[in-house]
Structure 1
Amino acid sequence: MRTARRRSIFLVLAALAGLFLSVPAASAHGTIVSPATRAYQCWQDWGSQHTNPAMQQQDPMCYQAFQANADTMWNWMSALRDGLGGNFQGKTPDGQLCSNALARNSSLDTPGAWRTTSLGSSFTMHLYDQASHGADFLRVYVSKNGFDPATQRLGWGNLDLLTQTGKYAPAKDITFPVQTSGAYRGHHVLFTIWQASHQDQTYMWCSDVNFG
């Protein structure tokens, strides 16, 4: 009797495992990998050594993000909201742009010495889309001169629009050029909106950059 019961439990567990393996990964989406978004940079630099105490001194912004919620970094590809209907500003309060107004990612809104990617006045942005959703468009802003990412939370009034792309067919890798006026110097924030061609899903991220 006991052996038969164990066999039945084993068969049920095996069936459930097969069911889960057959379901596509709903959380597989994407992010801007270059210049790296805040969550992606933290995952890339510290994901394999997230318990390393050196992070607190070497990269304090990633340290506070891991302390607040490590899931922010593990799920760097899933910073999306549904059903905004294009009303990005109306449904995303000032100070919550870098987290896409997701409470679980609120550490990404924290001002501080985020690590930066060095850029010139012209550069290429790279969206990595695990699920190949494609894009209705991508819109890229830069923080205005005078905005200090080390002490201020990003708001809509702190942004200059750089570019908005056209539509992209589904692909894992989407790259596109961005040109600035050349007037920006030092630490700035690139704020990107990705309107995915998949239902009404909107992604928003911050990438910290240093213009030479």
Structure 2
Amino acid sequence: MRKRHLFAALVGALAVQVATAIPAFSHGYISGPPSRAAYCAAGTVTGCGDIQWEPQSVEGPKGFPSGGPADGKLCAGGNSRFAQLDNPRNGAWPTTKVAAGQKQNFTWKFTARHATAQYRYFLTKPGYSASSVLSRSNLNLTPLLTVPGNNAQPPSTLTHSVPLPAGLTGHHVLLAVWDVADTTNAFYSCVDLQF
């Protein structure tokens, strides 16, 4: 009898260690065109810290733009573990070439498919300096596109065709926000674009 109790205690302790050693495989990020998190995960950009292993985990409080992460912490969703995403790297993040006034597809990759409230896409204003941290003051706070989620779970990948404004030139940052329906959080993804 004593051996069974000792064995059960040992198995229980081992289960706790295994459960806490395995990271949560959550939740979603923009994979194409590559977001900052995707570039870090692919090794295209180095010095990214933990985000290289968890590009899907840029989770922060919902409510942007009136609430949510603080200015200067938007690309990391306010999560200090991923602060490297907020570093503008003096404007040296890799960019994807896009055409002003055209639609551009943005693809989310999901590793945990939460019920969804909505997806929203915000873009920096004309005159934005890519060497600046992202803040509400340099973003157009009217979304380029809002896609209702209808409280449904997304598929493993999902693409939205986002209309880009005419007349832009240079390096801009798109902030994509996936508002989860069944938690108080959202997922944030920054994509560097060259118009």
Q: Which residue of 1 aligns with 2:36?
A: 38
The answer for unaligned runs of 5 or more in structure 2 is none
Q: 1:18 to 1:87 in 2, by over 3 A?
A: closer
String of CA shifts for 1:173-198, please: whole Å, max 9, x gaps: 22111112222222110011110233
Is 1:90 matched with 2:67? yes
Following superposition, the deviation at residue 16 of structure 1 comes to 3.7
Q: Which residue of 2 aligns with 1:209?
A: 193
Supply the AA of the counterpart residue of 1:162. Answer: L
Following superposition, the deviation at residue 119 of structure 1 comes to 2.0
Matches within 5 A, 1:21-100: 26-44=24-42, 46=43, 62-65=45-48, 70-82=49-61, 84=62, 86=63, 88-100=65-77
Tell me, yes or no, if the aligned pair for 1:191 and 1:206 is still in contact at 8 Å: yes
Residue 104 of structure 1 aligns to a residue in which SS?
A: helix
CA distance in 2, matches of 1:126, 1:20: 33
Q: Which residue of 2 aligns with 1:102?
A: 79
Is 1:154 matched with 2:134? yes
Q: Which residue of 2 aligns with 1:164?
A: 146
Q: Which residue of 1 aligns with 2:98?
A: 119
Aligned length: 182
Supply the AA of the counterpart residue of 1:131. Answer: A
Q: 1:178 to 1:200 in 2, by over 3 A?
A: same
Following superposition, the deviation at residue 33 of structure 1 comes to 0.8
Supply the AA of the counterpart residue of 1:29. Answer: H
CA distance in 2, matches of 1:127, 1:72: 16
CA distance in 2, matches of 1:28, 1:38: 17
Give the structure-2-normalised TM-score.
0.79
Following superposition, the deviation at residue 106 of structure 1 comes to 1.2
The answer for unaligned runs of 5 or more in structure 1 is 47-58
Q: Which residue of 1 aligns with 2:169?
A: 185
CA distance in 1, matches of 2:83, 2:13: 38
Give the structure-1-normalised TM-score.
0.74
Following superposition, the deviation at residue 25 of structure 1 comes to 6.8
Tell me, yes or no, if the aligned pair for 1:89 and 1:156 is still in contact at 8 Å: no
Residue 193 of structure 2 aligns to a residue in which SS?
A: strand
Identical residues among aligned pairs (%) = 27
Q: 1:209 to 1:202 in 2, by over 3 A?
A: same
Pairing partner for 1:132 from 109, 113, 133: 113
- Relative to its length, the structure with more helix (as a share) is 1
Following superposition, the deviation at residue 26 of structure 1 comes to 3.7
CA distance in 1, matches of 2:82, 2:194: 23
For the aligned residue pairs, the C-alpha RMSD in angstroms reads 2.9
Based on CA coordinates, which of the two structures has the bigger radius of gyration? 1
Supply the AA of the counterpart residue of 1:114. Answer: W
Supply the AA of the counterpart residue of 1:35. Answer: P
